[in-house]
Structure 1
Amino acid sequence: MIRNRLRIWLLPTFILLVCLANAQQYNFSTVWNNLGPGVRKNQLIEFRDLKGNTATLPLVLIKGEKPGRTLTILAGVHGYEYPPIIAVQEFLKEINPKKLSGNLIVLPISNMGSFYGRSPFINPKDGVNLNNAFPGKEKGTVTQQIAFYITNNIIPVSDVFLDIHGGDASEDLIPFACFYNNQNHAEATAMARNLAEQSGFTNVVSYPYTLQETEPAKYAFKQAVQDGKVGVSFEAGKLGTVQEEAVKLNKKGIYNVLKTMEMLAVNEPELTLNTLRHYNNQSYIKVPQNGIFYSSFIAGDRVTKGQEVGYITNEFGHTLTKINATATGIILYKIGTPPVLKGETLMCIGILADAN
């Protein structure tokens, strides 16, 4: 009886030690600091949680031939957002460390469980959305551990943190570059704005920043911003498919960020600010109840406050509610497929800066 009780007590302790061993077997700081100039190193980091779930995080470390700043590129936080993932795959085939000034940390598919599980938002292994998991938990689920790892290892050594997204399986959107207007770190915010403006994206979105220091950031590049880093994000691609133009735009954005940071010579035409469209405010329409959504509007359309933009029916085809625009502006993104769930974002309307 005593032996059985001892086994019961030791089992969770053993599992915990295994989890800690997996987290500690790869010492990021040691590998990163010992990497020589002009060298690329591919790593696969393993995670295991107390429920026996496992996850891997591919990591590419590149030290340039010449010294400079460090850019982190994060893709695949949502595994169904294919254009960013494919853009980063192509970029990794092209980048030459010998021609690079500074360093690159690339996470080409941050949520492998979501990617291979063909799950739009969550990792099906633990049911957690990586884009809501930051700063993460050291002893949490595998997805929470990945967020913790990025927060405590990758973000601290990054000068600029670029989080690349696209329209997920259900999302229709127009391409845009975005940043948080964090006046607590005005210099970092100014650089983020400049990188967004120089990225090659016509639409530049500034999100308000009201997060308190003690609040969880939830989102990857918002965590970087909270930690005082330069955080930028791209959005290109829609509805869970690989659009070649979105892949090209994401990759062009990466190269333009490298050019602006003086890390790589890139032959791209300079953008003038009057070609850009700035959106400094957003208005969100939330789904009022479960149902089937109908709308003739698509991302990029202009809407007027109060205008009917769609309606929701039940499973018998009876109209439950009409949806009206909450502001005058451009639809940045919206749900582009029929099923909608109460509380989720149905539509985001961007308000042009010159309309304020």
Structure 2
Amino acid sequence: MTKLISKTIALLILTSFSMLKSQSVKEILKQNGSFRKDTIFSIKSDSKETYLPVTIIKGKEKGPVFTIVAGIHGYEYPPIIAVQELLKEIEPENIKGSLIIIPIANVESFLKRVPFVNPLDQKNLNTAFPGLSNGTPTDQIAHLITKEIIPNSTIFLDIHGGDASEDLLPFVCYYNRKDTPENTKRAHELSVKLGIQYVVSYPYTLTSTEPAKYAFKEATQQGITALSIEAGKLGTVQKDNVDLIKTAVYNMLENSGNYAVKKSKTVNQKSTVLLNQQDYIRVPENGIFYSELKSGDKVKKNQILGYISDEFGNKKYDIVSQTTGIILYKVGTPPVNKGETLFCIGYNE
């Protein structure tokens, strides 16, 4: 009986959400005046249903359209909680231009506590862009963000953190797209003013017809100034990372010209460290992972970073660094599966 009541309530909530969605993002942005509007994009695929929540905050004065996305991975909690707090704090009268905010992009992953993938179709939204209009729920979410959100953005910010198994060093990143130098320069300028010490630039080699896979790479491909913040780890809420994300967002909004009121903030006084190369160490075989290292630790080339054993405790592989750099993120839990990213080491050359 309890399950039946829960399902009925969930259906009623989804139905009411579906009724709210009556306009496109572009139509809402064209409306006059200063306002906040919460809207829902309903998603149906066969018998599976979900939704994409979107908030639009428009100020009285003209300005950039700044998009903030959290929860592409629903188990990455600090970005989601930080955006929830921002939604409570930001008032339309303090905004120049507009904000488009997706508070939880992967609602099913969040509600079901499933790391990395959407439980409705077992797909990773972070590798699904540009998506498909008639695909599975994950495909459709990616398609909606690709077609409804990104083209209406001046600046696109995708906020991530360490998922259930990931130990992660906070950093901000962007793609070094050389054929759009103004966007790349703007992304770099915004990055170094966030108050996050580590700034990572990724190489950009996509052609116009290749799938971007990642949300902020899709925005980069569309010619939008795009960045991503990474903060939080191991599938828990850490207040310091929530506060770090909020401070970074406020700093970015002020520097983009979107926030009209000076926001009290604490800026990291440590000098910015730019990392323009990454070395990804993959898991060679299923097993149990041992390492005394953590995110933020510095490592040297040929250093043993840890080892993998089998179920009987027999060591199978030493994990050796091929570069000298700093651990941006690593697997922070014992089980590992072949092909997963075990370490990401950032360095500069």
Measure, in 2, the Cα distance between the counterparts of 1:148 and 1:271.
36
* 1:144-171 Cα shifts (integer Å, max 9, x gaps): 1010011011101100000000010000
For 2:195, which of 189, 193, 200 is the aligned residue?
A: 200
Query: Per-residue deviation at 1:142?
Result: 0.9
2:116 maps to 121
Matched, 1:336 2:328: no
Measure, in 2, the Cα distance between the counterparts of 1:275 and 1:338.
34
CA contact (8 A) 2:195 2:269 kept: no
Counterpart AA for 2:159: I
For 1:226, which of 216, 221, 225 is the aligned residue?
A: 221
Query: Per-residue deviation at 1:267?
Result: 3.9
1:319 maps to 315
1:108 maps to 103
TM-score by length of 2: 0.91
1:15 maps to none
Partner SS state of residue 157, structure 2:
strand
1:13 maps to none
1:65 maps to 60
Task: Select between 90-99 and 208-217 the one with higher mean Cα deviation.
Answer: 208-217
Partner SS state of residue 276, structure 2:
strand
Question: Following superposition of structure 1 onto structure 2, how do residues 104-183 of structure 1 map, counting pairs within 5 Å?
Answer: 104-183=99-178
2:211 maps to 216
2:296 maps to 300
CA contact (8 A) 2:160 2:230 kept: yes
CA contact (8 A) 1:284 1:326 kept: no
RMSD of the TM alignment (CA)?
1.8
Query: Per-residue deviation at 1:34?
Result: 4.2
Counterpart AA for 1:320: K
Query: Per-residue deviation at 1:181?
Result: 0.3
Measure, in 2, the Cα distance between the counterparts of 1:313 and 1:31.
56
Unaligned 5+ runs, structure 1: 1-21
CA contact (8 A) 1:53 1:126 kept: no
Question: Following superposition of structure 1 onto structure 2, how do residues 24-103 of structure 1 map, counting pairs within 5 Å?
Answer: 26-29=22-25, 31-50=27-46, 52-103=47-98
Partner SS state of residue 122, structure 1:
coil
CA contact (8 A) 2:39 2:55 kept: yes
TM-score by length of 1: 0.89
Query: Per-residue deviation at 1:344?
Result: 1.1
Runs ≥4 residues deviating over 6 A: 269-274
Relative to structure 1, the CA distance from residue 319 to residue 269 in structure 2 (aligned partners, 3 Å threshold; closer, same or farther) is same
Counterpart AA for 2:211: P
Query: Per-residue deviation at 1:326?
Result: 1.5
Aligned length: 330
Relative to structure 1, the CA distance from residue 305 to residue 218 in structure 2 (aligned partners, 3 Å threshold; closer, same or farther) is same
Query: Per-residue deviation at 1:32?
Result: 1.6
Measure, in 1, the Cα distance between the counterparts of 2:320 and 2:155.
38
Measure, in 2, the Cα distance between the counterparts of 1:198 and 1:127.
37
Query: Per-residue deviation at 1:303?
Result: 0.6
Query: Per-residue deviation at 1:200?
Result: 1.1
Query: Per-residue deviation at 1:241?
Result: 0.3
2:271 maps to 275
CA contact (8 A) 2:25 2:149 kept: no
Counterpart AA for 1:342: K
Counterpart AA for 1:151: T
Relative to structure 1, the CA distance from residue 123 to residue 269 in structure 2 (aligned partners, 3 Å threshold; closer, same or farther) is closer
Partner SS state of residue 183, structure 1:
coil
CA contact (8 A) 1:83 1:243 kept: yes
Task: Select between 264-273 and 89-98 the one with higher mean Cα deviation.
Answer: 264-273
CA contact (8 A) 1:84 1:250 kept: yes
CA contact (8 A) 2:288 2:310 kept: yes
Query: Per-residue deviation at 1:284?
Result: 1.0
2:15 maps to none
